Amino acid sequence: MKTRKSGSKAPSGAHAQAPSGQPSTRDIRRRYVLMTAIAAAFAGAVVYGVAAHVREQLHQESRIRVAALAATIAAGLPAEEIRGLRATEVEGGSEYEALRVHLVATRQANPEVRRVYALVPGKAPGLWRYALEADTDPSVRVHAGDPFDAGGRKEIAGAMRGPTAERKYSRDSGGSWLSGYAPIRDAGGRVLAIVGVDVGSRLALASEHRFLSGAAIAYVLALCGIVFTGFDRYQKRRLELERNRNIHVRLSIHRLAEVMTRSGAESDLARHALEAIAEATGFPHWALFKRDRDKGALVLFATRALNDQAQLELAPDPIGPEASSHASRAAFRREAVTRRKGDGSVGYAFAAAIPEIGKDPNVCAVPVVEHDETTAVLQCFAPASRRFGADDVTLIRWMAAQLGQGLKRIQLESRDQLLASYMRSTDEMLVGFDLDGLITYANPAALRALADSRSGLQGRGVDGLFLVSEKPGAAPLLAVLRGAGGYSGELVCCTVLEIKFPAEVTVTKAVDRDGNEGAWVLVGRDISERRDREDEIQSRTEQLELINEQLQHANDGLAEANRTKNEFLANTSHELRTPLNAVIGFATLIEQGITESEGERTSFARSIRESAEHLLIVINDILDLAKVEAGKLELALEAGDATPTIMAAVEAQRVLALRKGIKLEVETPAEPLEMQLDPARLRQVLLNLLGNAVKFTDKGEVRIKAWRKPSPAEIHIVVEDTGIGIAKGDQSRLFVKFSQVDGSYKRRHQGTGLGLVITKSLVQRMGGRISMESEGAGFGTRVTCVFPVAQAGTRMRTERDPCLNES
């Protein structure tokens, strides 16, 4: 607002120049009308004066003529005799008649004369009596001695001194007349009577009228001359003014155009433009709104001759069909909108802040339109007395268009500058080349990346610098571009010094305003660092994924181990408690003497022993496992034959097999099965395997086979059964400690689930391996143990087996 403030005050000099030097056509017209009116009035006054004077002259002449006529008649009448005709009785006398005939003759001699009469003084001064009257009509005839009614006749008294006439015409139904009087004197000069004569005014008035008509005609002619002259002068002056104004407007337009080509800040440009526009149009008060591209509303951008308060009041409402402010309406309609004084639709409260505009201003708002889109609005305010004519609006519209072009140019210039500085400072390579592949432009980044310090890139071919592929015979870039119309992706840059690096580029066609393809533009960046980084990230990611997988695996194993451990504890507790129940129960019975015989007591004691023995087995299993866990299970390995151990294990299980009604078969070769073994531990292994086989087989057979495999030299011991088998999914769990196939309480076979774990460990400690196969639940089970054949000098394995620690 502060900058605008100074802007609105500065131009007052220029502002004063325009309107005072260039009065409006209206002013001129008003002035000439006034001058013409004055001239016409003056002419009228002159004509009137002359006419009045001439008319007075004519009137005087008429009076003199009437007075002279009266004097002539008076001279022809004898004074003494007239004096004698005072009374009525004289009528009919010869003397009287003679006089009357004389008088009648006199009257008839002059057709203008209406009446002729002789009067004698009455008894009082100013009173007159008729002596004689020259009228022949008896009905209106007066008689001698009748009193004379003077009426309005004022000059009759003057007749005593000499001939005279009335100043004014008298009038009755017969017409108007002028009365004249003359004294009748005796020989001594005394006035004895007077003669009155009434002369009709027709002739006199006719001449007066003739004169007045002439005067009027003369005046009208003069008026015509005056008006014509005035109009002619007005026209000349107007044309001259218009010519001046045209020159002025043209100069102003020129100035505006010149301002519009200047560079500088947009706001400065707008301010100078408003100056030029104000000078060109003669309207001092202006506002320029710019359309905010984001919000779409008009924002006050520059003003001229509008003070701060007025600027504050200028806030156009949103652009739209409902907009009430003239600027917004103009912006929406994309055409000029004017307001005339008295238009009540919009009040301009702000205008009150500017006395020379007043509260009821004329307004003209003109949009600046670009591509059917309003980009700005130029608004002018004028006092109620200055109306916007069609010429004004056209001029303002023209100015607005100029202003719009200027603003657009500034925007384009700043965009160009931005673009140029971007191209200079960016790290991206920008390379322009023509349709023949010759480089026309390369920005500093491209020069740094591709050229050496001495040579530029101008004029070089792109195909030597950018390789779509390094393979021999690959299509050059230009061919690819011609084929595909563009390129986007990675390629290899080959610098002037033949150094290669990978780059990611996009090549597009550059099109001029008319859509002609004239060149190619390549934008790209060196991605060698990025590629290194990507490789590194890739390998790190893979490492992390591997570690993560291992952790996940370990975690799963831990969770599983924890679960099986809890399960194992519960099962172990159960296995320990079950025989204890019998031990405690039977002991209680004996203790409390609730026995019926000595044999029963013995039976109870046996039950206690058997249960305790079972308890011992369970405890031993657990202890063995604890040793296996700790890696402290000591084996006394020696070279020897495995056959006796196998036979002993079979015999130990034979009773149980017999009891269950299943066959127990054994196949061993005739030659000894020499291997490294701890006979007690091997027996434990076989007992466990055979025990399981018998336990899980309800019918059919259990078979143990042993043989020596020549190559590689190994001892194979296989235990097969036709029992319940093991589901495929469970087979892997069998050699894991604490695990049993069926963890629920409906388990049909008792045991701690430790046997196979201990067995596997023992087999491994003897240098062997163990595996289990089953075709699935219900198809029997086959367990295979493989041991190395004993060799002379084989060292005893007493060291701890590493695999024990990890499981």
Partner 1 sequence: MSQRILIVEDDPMNAKLFQLILTRKGNYKIQITEDPAYVIQEIQAGTVDLVIMDVSLSNSQLDGLPVDGLQITRRLKRDPTTRQIPVLLATAHAMKGSKEKFLRESGADDYISKPIVSADELLQRIETLISKRGHAVPPADR
CB of 590 to partner 1, least distance (A): 11
Rule CB under 8 A: choose which of 578, 643, 731, 784 binds partner 1.
578
C-beta of 720 vs 721, nearer to partner 1: 721
Determine if 426 is a binding residue for partner 1 (CB under 8 A). Answer: no
Determine if 459 is a binding residue for partner 1 (CB under 8 A). Answer: no
Determine if 692 is a binding residue for partner 1 (CB under 8 A). Answer: no
C-beta of 572 vs 781, nearer to partner 1: 572
- The two beta strands, 500-511 and 517-526, are antiparallel
Determine if 616 is a binding residue for partner 1 (CB under 8 A). Answer: no
Which x/- pattern, by CB under 8 A, does the window 512-551 give for partner 1? ----------------------------------------
Determine if 568 is a binding residue for partner 1 (CB under 8 A). Answer: no
Which structure tokens are listed for 517? 């393809």
C-beta of 139 vs 592, nearer to partner 1: 592
Which of these ranges, 72-80, 459-467, 633-641, 742-750, lies near partner 1 under the rule CB under 8 A? 742-750
Which of these ranges, 66-74, 96-104, 126-134, 747-755, lies near partner 1 under the rule CB under 8 A? 747-755
Strand partners, 176: 171
CB of 703 to partner 1, least distance (A): 24
Structural contact between residues 197 and 229, judged by C-beta atoms closer than 8 angstroms? no
CB of 594 to partner 1, least distance (A): 4
Rule CB under 8 A: choose which of 589, 648, 666, 727 binds partner 1.
589
Interatomic CA distance for residues 75 and 88, integer angstroms: 24
> What CA–CA distances, in Å, run from 611 to 592, 607, 687?
20, 6, 20
CB of 564 to partner 1, least distance (A): 15
C-beta of 601 vs 683, nearer to partner 1: 601
Interatomic CA distance for residues 225 and 678, integer angstroms: 158
C-beta of 315 vs 576, nearer to partner 1: 576
- 487-522 burial: b if 16+ Cβ within 10 Å, else e: beeebebbebeeeeeebbbebeeeeeeeeeeeebeb
Determine if 602 is a binding residue for partner 1 (CB under 8 A). Answer: no
C-beta of 708 vs 747, nearer to partner 1: 747
Interatomic CA distance for residues 336 and 137, integer angstroms: 90
Burial, 342: exposed, middle or buried (Cβ in 10 Å; 0-12, 13-18, 19+)? exposed
Determine if 594 is a binding residue for partner 1 (CB under 8 A). Answer: yes
Interatomic CA distance for residues 65 and 157, integer angstroms: 19
Question: What's the one-letter identity of residue 432?
Answer: G
Which of these ranges, 78-86, 129-137, 156-164, 606-614, lies near partner 1 under the rule CB under 8 A? 606-614
Rule CB under 8 A: choose which of 435, 569, 612, 796 binds partner 1.
569
C-beta of 569 vs 617, nearer to partner 1: 569
Rule CB under 8 A: choose which of 583, 622, 647, 652 binds partner 1.
583
How many chain residues bind partner 1 (CB under 8 A)?
Answer: 29
Rule CB under 8 A: choose which of 601, 708, 747, 769 binds partner 1.
747
User: What SS3 string covers 199-268?
Assistant: EECHHHHHHHHHHHHHHHHHHHHHHHHHHHHHHHHHHHHHHHHHHHHHHHHHHHHHHHHHHHHCCCCHHH
CB of 622 to partner 1, least distance (A): 16
Structural contact between residues 477 and 467, judged by C-beta atoms closer than 8 angstroms? yes
Phi and psi for 412 in degrees, rounded to 5?
-65, -40
Determine if 655 is a binding residue for partner 1 (CB under 8 A). Answer: no
Structural contact between residues 121 and 127, judged by C-beta atoms closer than 8 angstroms? yes
C-beta of 150 vs 576, nearer to partner 1: 576
Q: What angle do CA 372, 374, 378 make, to 5 degrees?
A: 135
Which of these ranges, 291-299, 306-314, 408-416, 739-747, lies near partner 1 under the rule CB under 8 A? 739-747
CB of 723 to partner 1, least distance (A): 14
C-beta of 406 vs 751, nearer to partner 1: 751
Structural contact between residues 645 and 686, judged by C-beta atoms closer than 8 angstroms? yes
C-beta of 152 vs 745, nearer to partner 1: 745
CB of 540 to partner 1, least distance (A): 46
Determine if 764 is a binding residue for partner 1 (CB under 8 A). Answer: no
Determine if 229 is a binding residue for partner 1 (CB under 8 A). Answer: no
CB of 725 to partner 1, least distance (A): 15
End-to-end alpha-carbon separation of the chain, Å? Answer: 83
Which structure tokens are listed for 518? 């004239």
Rule CB under 8 A: choose which of 98, 499, 558, 570 binds partner 1.
570
Interatomic CA distance for residues 303 and 315, integer angstroms: 13
CB of 626 to partner 1, least distance (A): 20
- What letter does residue 389 receive in the DSSP assignment? -
Structural contact between residues 399 and 280, judged by C-beta atoms closer than 8 angstroms? yes
Determine if 590 is a binding residue for partner 1 (CB under 8 A). Answer: no
Rule CB under 8 A: choose which of 744, 793, 795, 802 binds partner 1.
744
Give the number of residues written for the chain. 807
- What letter does residue 18 receive in the DSSP assignment? H
Which of these ranges, 24-32, 59-67, 580-588, 789-797, lies near partner 1 under the rule CB under 8 A? 580-588
Query: Read out DSSP for 257-320?
Result: HHHHH--S-HHHHHHHHHHHHHHHH---EEEEEEE-TTT--EEEEEEES--HHHHHH-----SS
Interatomic CA distance for residues 604 and 583, integer angstroms: 9
Rule CB under 8 A: choose which of 53, 553, 632, 749 binds partner 1.
749
C-beta of 437 vs 751, nearer to partner 1: 751
Which of these ranges, 311-319, 403-411, 544-552, 573-581, lies near partner 1 under the rule CB under 8 A? 573-581
Rule CB under 8 A: choose which of 471, 513, 748, 795 binds partner 1.
748
Determine if 283 is a binding residue for partner 1 (CB under 8 A). Answer: no
Question: What's the one-letter identity of residue 47?
Answer: V
The neighbour count for residue 714, using CB atoms within 10 Å, is 16
Which structure tokens are listed for 248? 């002025």
C-beta of 178 vs 662, nearer to partner 1: 662
Which structure tokens are listed for 585? 């129960």
Side-chain-side CA neighbours of residue 551 (13 Å): 6
Determine if 582 is a binding residue for partner 1 (CB under 8 A). Answer: yes
Span 372-411, contacts to partner 1 by CB under 8 A: none
Which of these ranges, 221-229, 443-451, 455-463, 589-597, lies near partner 1 under the rule CB under 8 A? 589-597
Structural contact between residues 298 and 327, judged by C-beta atoms closer than 8 angstroms? yes
CB of 688 to partner 1, least distance (A): 19
C-beta of 381 vs 586, nearer to partner 1: 586
List of residues 6+ apart from 456 with CB closer than 8 A:
442, 447
CB of 573 to partner 1, least distance (A): 6
C-beta of 164 vs 611, nearer to partner 1: 611
Structural contact between residues 184 and 191, judged by C-beta atoms closer than 8 angstroms? yes
Torsion sign across C-alpha atoms 135, 140, 144, 150: negative
Which of these ranges, 5-13, 70-78, 436-444, 566-574, lies near partner 1 under the rule CB under 8 A? 566-574
Which structure tokens are listed for 265? 């800040």
CB of 745 to partner 1, least distance (A): 4
Determine if 727 is a binding residue for partner 1 (CB under 8 A). Answer: no
Residues of the shown chain interacting with partner 1 in the complex, contacts defined by CB under 8 A: 569-570, 573-578, 580-586, 588-589, 592, 594, 607, 610-611, 744-750
